[in-house]
A = this chain, B = another copy of it.
Amino acid sequence: MEYPSELLSRAVEEIAKLPGIGKRTALKLALHLLKQPPEYTRELTEALSAFRREVRYCSRCHNISDTDTCEICADPARDHSLICVVEDVRDVLAIENTGQYRGVYHVLGGLISPMEGVGPEDIFLPQLVERVRKERPREIILALSPTVEGDTTGLYIYKKVKDTGIPVSTLARGVAFGEEIEFADEMTLARSLANRIPFENSLKF
């Protein structure tokens, strides 16, 4: 498509760089800005610029935080000897929403991905290793997505902290609640079988 304006063309191109947004949607979004007062675009761009420029991370868990130590890390009621390792703030929000976890987090800010050129040093992984050696928690819980990147990252962390003797656990994988057995994928089903648990334990919730 050839747009009748360079300004439009550049705006569409930049919007379409965002993940999951194609040229068509980008054009729709750009035209939407025109239908709104100029303040609308100003507020949007200012919010994005300020966020990218001034974003800060908790000095302990590296979650996004406006303060040097995030609310969770600063909470004395939390169990600071339990570190849950997650990819990003979305996972923290999801786990917090369960209301079941009282430990603290370590936010990696990404996963190791050789395909995308993301190595261990590009995420907050060295900081995790250092933190584990310093704080010596009683357990490290890996709550990483069951993808190639998640598994690679998990294995890397495991190897890096193995010598400390601190137990490393990972989230249970299995048939999801409400999921029908016949629709579960083979991999999940096979692992659920292999890692089956005593029936009594399944009544605990």
Please report A residues at the B interface, Cβ cutoff 8 Å. Answer: 1-8, 10-11, 13-15, 17-20, 25, 27-35, 38, 40-56, 58, 63-66, 70-72, 88-90, 92-93, 97, 109-110
Contacts and interface: CB of A to CB of B under 8 A. Distances in A.
21 contacts: A2-B93, A4-B58, A4-B65, A7-B50, A7-B54, A7-B55, A7-B66, A13-B47, A14-B47, A15-B47, A17-B40, A18-B29, A19-B29, A19-B32, A27-B89, A30-B51, A33-B51, A34-B109, A35-B109, A35-B110, A45-B45
Nearest to A47: B14
Copies in the complex: 2
Given A15-B48, A27-B90, A33-B51, 5 more contacts: A4-B89, A15-B44, A20-B25, A41-B52, A45-B49
B14 A64 contact: no
A54 B8 CA distance: 10
A47 B44 CA distance: 12
A18 B32 contact: yes
A33 B48 contact: yes
A72 B34 CA distance: 21
A116 to B, nearest CB: 9
